[in-house]
Amino acid sequence: MADTTHGGPASGTRRDFMNLLVNSVAVFGAAAVAWPIISSLNPSQDVLALASTEVDLSQIEAGQSITVKWRGKPVFIRHRTPEEIKTAEGVDISSLRDPQPDGDRVEKPEWLIVVGVCTHLGCVPQGQKPSEPRGQFGGWFCPCHGSEYDTSGRIRRGPAPTNLEVPQYTFESDTLVKIG
């Protein structure tokens, strides 16, 4: 195509090769420029530096839940009662959509810490307050599309594909947890 009435037919392949080369280099350059542009849209250093939150658990009674903000999202911390722990541990794993034993989802059985964002489309499920619906499995109920989670935060019914996410956290002491 490059050869027109003005371009002679001579040295065609060599010219094609050179064209290919210079075009490849140009494309490489464009890609190299695209990288910083795309990368700039990722979380910045100050955002990353604020990625952890410390929470004092001493005031939370058994059966109570609190919501804390971590990376702009709600994190549910539930002080589970012995019955809730028992129910969560008693579930037949093979019947679950996203099979995971309760023990893998908690550090200490009485403290369940999950990200309070429905894995379907990102709504915040209800069930933190006693007055709110918790669904049939005693965990959380998402009002958007009816996903129901159990007392281990696992998906049991509804459209959500996976269990509520467990954030990375460590117990600094018996009553102080650092999320992130």
Partner 1 sequence: MSKGRILLGLTTIIVGLAAVAMVAANPVHHATVHSQSWSFTGFFGHFDHAQLRRGHQVYKDVCAGCHSMSLLAYRDLQDIGFTEDEVQALAAEVQVEDGPDDTGAMFERPGRASDRFKEPFPNEQAARAANNGAYPPDLSLIAKSRAGAGFLGYEGADYIHSLMVGYEEPPANVTLPEGMYYNHAFKGHQIAMPPPLSEDGVTYADGTQATLDQQAKDISAFLTWAAEGNLDERHRTGIKAVLFLVIFTLLAYAVKRRVWADVH
Partner 2 sequence: MAAPVFKNPVIRWIDHRLPVFSYLHHEAYEYPTPKNLNYWWNFGSLAGVMLVVMIVTGLILAMQYTPHVDYAFNSVERIMRDVNWGWLLRYLHMNGASMFFIVVYIHIFRGLYFGSYKAPRELLWQIGVLIYLLMMATAFMGYVLPWGQMSFWGATVITNLFSAIPVIGDEIVTLLWGGFSVENPTLNRLFVLHFLLPFVILGAVVVHIIALHRFGSNNPLGIDTKGPQDTLPFHPYYTMKDMFGLGVFLLFYAFWVFWAPNALGDPVNYELANPLSTPEHIVPEWYYLPFYAILRSIPDKLLGVIAMGASIIILFFLPWLDRSPVRSGTFRPVFKWFFWILVFDCVILMFCGKYAPEAYWMPFSLEIVDADTFTARVAEVRGIAHDEALTAVGDMWGVNAAAGTFGIKIVRLGQLGTLYYFAYFLVVLPLLSIFERPRQVPLSISKPVLGGGQSVAHATAKSMEKA
Binding site for partner 2 (CB under 8 A): 2, 4-7, 19, 22, 26, 36-37, 39-42, 44-47
Cα 86 versus chain centre, distance: 27
Q: What angle do CA 119, 64, 100 make, to 5 degrees?
A: 40
When the beta carbons of 47 and 93 are compared against partner 1, the nearer one is 47
From partner 1, partner 2, none, interface partner of 41 (C-beta below 5 to 8 A by class)? partner 2
From partner 1, partner 2, none, interface partner of 37 (C-beta below 5 to 8 A by class)? partner 2
When the beta carbons of 40 and 94 are compared against partner 2, the nearer one is 40
From partner 2, partner 1, none, interface partner of 72 (C-beta below 5 to 8 A by class)? none
State in angstroms the smallest separation of the CB of 125 from partner 1: 24
Question: SS3 of 158, please?
Answer: coil
Q: Which of 6, 79, 120, 145 is catalytic?
A: 145
State in angstroms the smallest separation of the CB of 39 from partner 2: 4
Contacts 24+ apart (CB under 8 A), 97-106: 97/155, 97/156, 97/161, 97/162, 98/154, 98/155, 98/161, 98/162, 98/163, 100/152, 100/154, 100/163, 102/152, 105/152, 105/153, 105/154, 105/163, 105/166, 106/152, 106/166
Active site residue 145: yes
From partner 2, partner 1, none, interface partner of 161 (C-beta below 5 to 8 A by class)? none
Q: Which residues on adjacent β-strands are paired with residue 74?
A: 69
Q: Six-digit token pair at 8?
A: 């002679």
State in angstroms the smallest separation of the CB of 2 from partner 2: 5
Asked if residue 128 lies in contact with residue 115, where contact means CB atoms within 8 angstroms, the answer is no
Instruction: List contacts with partner 1 (CB under 8 A).
Output: 2, 6-8, 10-11, 14-15, 18-19, 21-22, 25-26, 28-29, 32, 45-46, 49-50, 59
Enzyme catalytic residues = 145
